[in-house]
């Protein structure tokens, strides 16, 4: 029997790994991250129970983006531009091929 994956979707694992990397690189303290993430989860969980899937990691991403914006590492405009670039890359990529950003 094959074990279940630790993450529901690849982007969950990637986001988790990025956050851990930024913490280990000294960008932020884990205690600061945990406090902010807890506050985000509380806000998101007021309307419904979080199931630990996309809703949980959407809150995770919101927290990370806010933390990076507050530290002036990635502004909301930077994030918006990066999302647009990834969306454009996704739309121009053939099904099954790796998605890459144009240099």
List all residues 6 or more positions away from 98 whose beta carbon is below 8 Å from its beta carbon.
none
Report the domain count for the chain.
Answer: 1
What integer pLDDT is reported at residue 48 of this predicted model? 67
What integer pLDDT is reported at residue 100 of this predicted model? 87
Enter the pTM of the model: 0.79
Residue 50 backbone phi and psi in degrees, to 5: -85, 135
Residue 33 is assigned to a structural domain of this protein: yes
Residue 4 is assigned to a structural domain of this protein: no
Rg for the chain (alpha carbons), in Å? 16
Residue listed under structure tokens 């990834």: 86
**Domain carrying residue 24:** 10-72
Residue 67 is assigned to a structural domain of this protein: yes
For residue range 25-65, what is the model confidence (pLDDT) as tens digits? 999 999 999 999 999 988 887 666 667 778 889 999 999 99
Residue 2 is assigned to a structural domain of this protein: no
Nearest to 63 by CA among 17, 6, 19: 19
Residue 89 is assigned to a structural domain of this protein: no
């Amino acid at each position: 029997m094959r074990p279940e994956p630790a993450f529901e979707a690849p982007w969950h694992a990637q986001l988790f790994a990025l956050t851990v990397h930024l913490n280990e690189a000294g960008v932020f303290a884990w205690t600061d991250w945990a406090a902010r993430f807890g506050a985000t989860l509380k806000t998101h969980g007021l309307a419904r129970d979080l199931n630990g899937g996309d809703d949980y990691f959407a809150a995770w991403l919101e927290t990370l983006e806010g933390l990076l914006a507050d530290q002036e590492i990635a502004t909301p405009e930077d994030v918006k531009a990066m999302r647009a670039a990834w969306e454009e890359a996704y739309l121009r990529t053939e099904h099954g091929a790796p998605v890459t950003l144009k240099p």
